[in-house]
Structure 1
């Protein structure tokens, strides 16, 4: 992604206070957790909770608590911005310039004619809940994020009495919950306040009490500092929303004073926060009332139990255990310090694997929007990179783990956004390019905008964003073997992009091949003949690799569904004439562009020409020459400072897993832990982006199980330091559940379960075995696959 030179992070409204927090004795329990002995000093140390749509970052401050709130559809504007810019005549002019070698002029023209240039329209914070307690002596403080039961908690003593705060976001009851209790017989006194940051000096919400125990915060998302076509624009409309906060207390009193609630002598209170928006329903206020009514008919403990049961139905499907739990007696931030000093911490790898799954469950559920660049967690009115959906790796990386870690339901929001993007892209393809099918470029947002947005051609003059997302439809089918999904969702999506590419490809009369241009390689540049950086070219590796994949998958889908029409015949013929997207240069590396240009940035964070290695599947061990060229390509990038952002390092882990290089996988796992996480283990770009967390989890799964080659590789790149361990509940393509255990770096037991009877090939340490799986019957194999 584009580097940002300087990001101004909003400081917390309340400073970190100078108490000492003597630590309660810690003993490891059978839960996966992050824990700390002091409150969060800033947002990058706060702890995330979420239910897919609603989220919060919990700071855990026992005197001036801040709980930053989010909802996934909090966006300014609407779908009224136009779909298209430019015309087929503009495309013809740009192509002529490229053929004539006028690449710099083509660079300028592609932005001027087709791009909406710089765009500022951002996902935004819902606001903040502030809880102000009396300033008393605090001791024995701990703060925890429980990944096994999905809640954030603070535990401490105030004036010698225990106080507990527990925060979670329930998908089952669609509510954020804050429970505060004390053993002090006189209870606690504190105030509650809702607020939201201003937008360019303008108030963004109205907050007021509607009952003695209820606050309402209502507003409309705007962005007066917005931008379109690199021109400042006031976006004075957007999604309308209402947030209700209601308190239920067991003792003492609750009273209202305009926009605050005051709790006095309360031993236990539960704060319920509901929020709905006009994006989902025009009756959002009524929806809030209905949700609170349902909550009021239940109890806190029932709501908590329903939340845990719902969450664990997803989270406990897959379980990784690499041992070495003894280090969990140390706070998470202390463990990170040890890692940065060169120590190994295998259990933190397990924790990060689970954290990625936790974050996906918490930010992407059926019926919600997909996880954006920050998941759902964002404290800004203008977030870095708009906290939007970048389609040149970031959104896709968010979902690499979904199927393989058996969270296929969490994949659904991506398909729902993509379906909307496809429909808008059809208009753009016809109006802007004069072509059938659909197209989507580098970035989209809540409104499923398919158009190009880039001030410079390197960043967004790229036509393959939607088609890359289409790979996820096909992969989801491969993992689930859901034929109904294949027929109703996969084929229509693939065909739409295949139609566009069928019209887009141009004939090279020199060799009768089909070429794709203008092309750019995401965010990268080469040195043109004059030694100056250029972006556009007459074809490049990634473009051809994605086009080939779209054609191949469309043809394969038709074969599975049992038909071959004229369109399938046409793209089959075009596929046979498509210019190769995988070529080796004179130095043994894979070419990124149509010629062997020198790179402008030799250590660039994007390694787009390796798409065919991962997440594609065209570069495998079956072609040793390409396999070695891919290794050399990656090493060259790393030797020149590559993999700076966390997501780039996560991609490297996946690359080396596919390259069957266990040592490099282990090395980059360690580097990710050293360089790519904040104190709360969220991914560092910098600033925070969530894609690296998801990509890391996918990489761990890829190291333990691979199925992209038509067979199952068992423990393909098991790191040497993972002497013994277990992984259960992974999903292989073919809808096969896989459990693996190993000791002394050797397979101990393998268990496979299929929903249908089928024959499967297994590969372990170079040996291949063919076995038959019987429907719904687990097959247990020993270290020799017997």
Structure 2
């Protein structure tokens, strides 16, 4: 080879350096395809239109009205309840009898005994019945004035209330409420007995006509149909009064699905002569001091609301409301009277504040008043120092309280306090900062001082300019967000230019494939916004966003799928640090779960049933037919191990190893020998929320088997030896009841072959072994085929999170076209004008169970990643489930197990680009279309793979 002169050598070196720079740049570059903006041409009409911001602890929903702006905000540690342990002392004494009943085929008797003696303790359950008797007696004897005094009924409300009266302006109202309406009785119906039909009512009701009690019903499931004697009716105007008693949770008239007309009277012998009572009724609240309902666990609470009132002539043009998820900024822009206004909102993690910034392109144009409020009954608001509003709230039925301080700063103009409001006049710009805190420190410590915390936050904030706070926020956020990018197609598609709500309504993969990319990035945005490394709690059923005092399912942590799904995208979508709050919670759960393990099972180790809350409750709750599900701890330990596989973080694995070991110790003692098969089975338990309390659900066995293997693997990684425990596992592992194929060729959900091929239940629990577990793989093709049969039997329809789970499963099964069908369902509009809500996404792209539940927003993006890269085997597979309709695209920064980061691109269904980077030196195997390529990678060095090598 001829020698190079110095100049040629330098040019060649420069060329190689430039090539290396371009490889690195390509590895971290964002796509030119813009998948980072949600935007709308009108303000939000309802909460699920509003745009979310969050910093992992504080969250807010931005409505964007030019004249009356509304920010509804949350702080993640404001919950009902108080430190407690809901274990029932001595419950383990009934465990042998429950198991015996199952062994004798007596499921109903086993459920009844478990409900009575094995469920966790409810706060206030001991005295509740006596308190209710006294309270009800008082509200029932005080009826005369409500039947005779029409001036009490000053409020109007629309019936029925399909989602409870909480959605109709009565949030947090439990107790006694009176409803009133008048009707006109024609002379032709005089002397005839009538039927009054009201549908279902939550919870109890007492119905009166013309002051006479015509019927009463207890319980929300019964349809109210009362006989009205002709003796109490009169020609002309008659009056209906309904006293509704709501003990807890949602209240009101919730209608029926039987197609019958509601709120009607008709003759008993002739239902055609209908008198309609109408849907607009008057009401008055009688008494809200209802005894605290015995609850197993706490409810996540809203904190409050901020309102800004701006002067307006209603002459707004060029309106645009947007959420820039690349910078974590919500923006509102519009023009009015020749002036362009801009409002910017964000939730800063570095400065622990929610910020609103108002500007205009003309000086002295910013004027507004601002107030704070809260749905909580116990609130106190005061203004101080000319630019501060302070709101203190205390939750009902609990020990937590919080403080929110709102500060206003302006450039030019004036600020003054007017009662409980702050007035800003003629400013060039204004910045509003909200800080908030509660007295929560830990699940067993509520001695915090929120006043001091808020002062501490403000003292730091007050030293910084708005520009610095904004810059620090964006820098902090983008350290996470910019690790990953994704796009589909090599051309501009027509629907991209539409507003986001229209993109959802008109979505099809052929017209708008990058709505899928936006959805994936939006899921990452929501995870960053609701679960940061320094967050006190993990993301709950609604992340950190909730506007209801009685949220659906308490907005808690459902651990039989939903909590775990929240963190499925964290590792593959390059947000591993966002899992930290989950691991912190697991450490707490090992402590409370050890008490439940001892009291309910007389075992060492720890256990978690199907739900938990801020107080880290772990005992079974609600009803025995679904609440006694024992493998929550096994599933959470799977999350620990999977995180290690993705990150190779041995320090964290060592920290979390006791949780894995102690869970293993519990299940070693919990499994019992099945007399029919001689296998070890899990009993009593449940295939989540399906089929009742049983012995030996398939899902349990898959998870316990995986836990035991993970424990042994973790011990090997950490060099920890426990010969006695290891030997016991080696004996037990092959004895755990195996997966079984049933008479339809399906994977059995239970020990007995009782699956119904027409059953389309939302849970696909027995498919856990396919995803997120690895208990079933293509190494056993017959079992994987049986799982496919079960998936097809279950069908494609379902709630948001169920659809997301199915997406991941079909991706793991390498069926890209079926996986894309699940994406299409996830992206379907949840609320269409005049139609009932369904699964899909709302206008703000939040997931619909319905109602809103955030897990689908997390499970969906995880499934998209699973379609493009899989690494659950000993190799990394590229484009394993690429659907026909996504013929071109890229994903940058996607992670694989082994702590490998990849940039992948494809054109015309063929891999066109692959850049890989591993954290550790070593050999790494990559598979594409069945062909394997093994590479020797140097730590932290991007490697541009020659795609042609896959052809050899």
The answer for the alignment partner of 1:579 in structure 2 is: 737
Pairing of 1:127-138 with structure 2 (within 5 A): 127-136=304-313, 137-138=315-316
Query: For the residues of structure 1 that align with 2:325 and 2:557, how far apart are their CA atoms?
Result: 26
Structure 2 residue 302 is matched with structure 1 residue 125: yes
**Counterpart mapping for 1:217-228 below 5 A:** 217-222=391-396
What secondary structure sits across from 1:140 in the alignment? strand
For 1:409 and 1:761, locate their aligned partners in 2 and report how far apart those are by CA, in whole Å: 26
The residue number in structure 1 matching 2:629 is 462
Between the aligned partners of 1:313 and 1:549, the Cα distance in structure 2 is 34
> Which of 627, 630, 634 lines up with 2:787 in the alignment?
630
Which of 657, 669, 674 lines up with 1:503 in the alignment? 669
Q: Deviations over 1:226-270 (max 9, x none)?
A: xxxxxxxxx2x3222111000010121111122111111122100
The equivalent of 1:671 in structure 2 is 825
1:325 shift after superposition = 4.8
Matches within 5 A, 1:259-658: 259-280=420-441, 282-323=448-489, 324-326=491-493, 327-339=495-507, 344-368=511-535, 369-455=537-623, 457-489=624-656, 491-509=657-675, 512-525=678-691, 535-564=692-721, 565-580=723-738, 582-599=739-756, 602-638=759-795, 642-658=796-812
Residue matched to 1:10? none
Match of 1:105 among 106, 109, 118: 109
Instruction: After superposition, give the CA deviation of every residue in 1:347-374 in whole Å (9 maximum; x if it has no partner).
Output: 1000000000000000001121100000
Between the aligned partners of 1:477 and 1:120, the Cα distance in structure 2 is 31
Q: Out of 868, 874, 879, which is 1:715 matched to?
A: 879
Q: Choose which of 331, 334, 355 in structure 2 pairs with 1:153.
A: 331
Tell me the distance in 1 between the aligned counterparts of 2:566 and 2:485: 20
Match of 1:736 among 893, 897, 900: 900
CA shift, 1:135, in A, is: 2.9
User: 2 CA distance for matches of 1:524 and 1:778?
Assistant: 48
1:29–1:673 distance in 2 versus 1, CA, 3 Å: closer
5+ long unaligned stretches in structure 1: 1-27, 223-234, 526-534
TM normalised by structure 2 equals 0.75
Structure 1 residues 690 and 357, CA gap change in structure 2 (3 angstroms): same
Deviation per residue, 1:345-400 (Å, 9 max, x gap):
20100000000000000000112110000000000111111000000100000000
C-alpha distance in structure 2 between counterparts of 1:103 and 1:628, whole Å: 31
Structure 1 residue 715: Cα displacement: 0.8
Q: Which residue of 2 aligns with 1:22?
A: none
Q: Shift of the alpha carbon at 1:782?
A: 2.7
In 1, the alpha carbon distance for the partners of 2:631 and 2:704 equals: 8
Aligned residue for 2:131? none
C-alpha deviation, 1:626, in angstroms: 1.4
CA contact under 8 A between 2:102 and 2:694: conserved in structure 1?
yes
Shift of 1:601: 7.3
CA distance in 2, matches of 1:707, 1:64: 50
**Whole-angstrom distance in 1 between the partners of 2:643 and 2:949:** 28
Shift of 1:273: 0.3
Size of the aligned set, in residue pairs, is 726
Cα 1:29–1:703, aligned 2, differ >3 Å: closer, same or farther?
A: closer
Partners of 1:726 and 1:768 in 2: CA distance: 21
72-81 or 311-320, which deviates more: 72-81
Instruction: Please tell me whether Structure 1 or Structure 2 has the larger radius of gyration of its CA atoms.
Output: 2
Q: Give yes or no for the alignment of 1:210 onto 2:381.
A: no
Deviation at 1:30, TM superposition (A): 4.8
Match of residue 401, structure 2, among 207, 218, 240: 240
Q: 2:924 aligns with which of 753, 756, 760?
A: 760
The one of 944, 947, 950 equivalent to 1:780 is 944
Q: After superposition, give the CA deviation of every residue in 1:438-478 in whole Å (9 maximum; x if it has no partner).
A: 001010000100011123x3331211112211111101111
2:822 and 2:944 mapped to 1: Cα distance? 32
Contact 1:454/1:461, CA 8 A, preserved across alignment = no
Paired residue secondary structure (1:587)? coil
> Partner of 1:367: helix, strand, or coil?
coil
Q: Does structure 2 retain, via aligned residues, the 8 Å contact 1:723–1:743?
A: yes
CA distance in 1, matches of 2:549, 2:758: 32
Task: Answer yes or no: is 1:182 the counterpart of 2:360.
Answer: yes
Mean Cα deviation higher: 69-78 or 717-726: 717-726
Alignment partner of 1:361: what SS?
A: helix
Q: Please give the alpha-carbon distance, in whole angstroms, between the structure 2 residues aligned to 1:253 and 1:459.
A: 59
Q: CA RMSD in A?
A: 1.7
Counterpart Cα distance in 2 of 1:433 and 1:89: 8
CA distances 1:387-420 after superposition (whole Å, capped 9, x unpaired): 0000010000000000111111100000111111
- 8 Å contact from structure 2 (residues 358, 366) kept in 1: no
SS at match of 2:390: strand
For residues 871 and 358 of structure 2, the distance between their equivalents in structure 1, rounded to whole angstroms, comes to 47
Structure 1 CA distance for aligned equivalents of residues 298 and 790 of structure 2: 36
Contact 2:48 / 2:843 at 8 angstroms: preserved in 1? yes
* The 10-residue stretch of structure 1 (692-701 or 343-352) with the greater mean CA deviation from structure 2: 343-352
In the aligned structure 2, how far is the partner of 1:700 from the partner of 1:512? 41
**2:758 and 2:794 in contact (8 A); partners too:** no
Q: Does 1:680 align with 2:844?
A: yes
The SS at the match of 2:544 is: coil
Unaligned runs of 5+ in 2: 1-31, 123-294, 442-446, 830-839
Distance, in Å, in 2 between the alignment partners of 1:31 and 1:611 is 31
Distance 1:184 1:31 in 2: 32
Offset at residue 77 of structure 1 (A): 1.8
Residue 661 of structure 1 is aligned with which of 815, 836, 842?
Answer: 815
Cα distance, 1:344 vs. partner? 4.1
Distance in 2 between the 1:185 and 1:508 partners? 80
Aligned to 2:888: 724
